Structure 1
């Protein structure tokens, strides 16, 4: 697949190569859900009819905040489970891309009044926590995708940076997901809507996967592999663990299940890839998942590595994503962006109301 020579720099103008069809070309899928300038086209006609769109769980609103001013230059949205991890990533990526905060300022948690997620902006990079599990990341994705729409960000790329349990992998191995399945082996995200099940394909950007793998350094003292990731809806029984409060299967039955996953190409298990892949694909947003295995599930259920080892392992996916971001900005000739996530308020009254709504909304 190669870029069309039309003078436009945006990533959504592509045509298919000989071995790709319009049905399989992810770039063509992306282009269908973008405006010609690369901004996100929402698949919800109701939003444009609203007086303002309150992003409850981010403590932001389209009528209260100048979202174009605050987030219009965002190119990368990086997500991880905990606020602490994503704050650390914000500082790490700041150093990696050479971004400087204005004198007298510090990184600000933009969503501090939501008490649900944390969000930090470092130039073109948005670092945000997604919590744990399918419902939590699903809520965040709806609002982050709407945020990209309201801010008119062009061709954003989403990354999930996280941890996982490996299957037949040593602890510390980095896994780039090229496919996603649920506990039943389904390649889709099923959501009940109006009493009926709706299935959305869970697809990740194949080209992005290849580009990330190409940035793995042969000198890295660990392996970086590509493989299928299973998304579980539970940490214990849903992942076949025997150390939960309940367990109605034997150790041998657990091992039979895990080795069956391994024989089907599953490399790791986590709890967010299915909605992440499905909702970004449905929005026409390029996305990838990079996780580090904290243990080999074929050897046990509990994470026993020392804290200092775990801390170093958790930086490994961040390093790979940072390499991608740094290379992209260097290629585009943009290594530093203005702005550092400070508030841009359009309506003080609505700003206060949004804060109050986010603080009280359950």
Structure 2
């Protein structure tokens, strides 16, 4: 490692569709600074936010650093720890978490042989968990876990929760986490995924093709909704919440998808209206959600996987060079669980 100066990485120099992704064979290996570690990446999870940053539509272009190595989720081994980084991690430790490129203003993502990581954003991987499974956890798993907390869905409460898009990356985790907490879980999916989601723990699976959500649940509303779709569908979800219920809006491009350039204005108006309604106790609350890279949560989640209490659902794995195909497949919305890129094939 000491003499390695360049590496293979998936890079974009401009914003746009997947055609802007380049498979670069001589990209500089990043140098970790104080508080960071260098990780040799074995596998990298693919997330909607990767496409959002690359596409340039969901984030202001002025804050997006270019050129940039794509990717957020990683699993690998600690390759170097610089002086000044306080951590209990050691070189050679198996770790996973969020690379520092998980924000648009950072340049070092996880779709590469090496990435830099804030030490506090990495957790050890138990021996029972593969690099592939670990790489499928970070953003989706943290989002699902923390969203349930934000919604006030504590363990043992027996509350009723509706989880949109149950077969997706966040949804497959959210269904399992909610069931572990003893909640009654209803989720939306196509009929083809109904049995699969019931195996994960869903009590009910709503066929979103039928468009009769309000009719089915208006007389038996939910305590909380975890919404990873947004847009027009969110108006329906609010109508099946209890008056003192909570909707957690996982920040996504749903409003841009449904309302075009005016999407963010509609979203802002929607939040303000609901906030005022909730303040006078005339309707449920709505909370925009941003995932946080907590090491404690990462340790807890990978522990649940190691104990066999939670399953990481991997739809497919692809080699690093097929990152563009992975982005395309994921953004079409048909993936069951996670898509993972293999930087090294022995995962």
Q: Please, what TM-score do these two structures have when normalized by structure 2?
A: 0.28
**RCO higher in 1 or 2 (8 Å CA, sep ≥ 6)?**
1
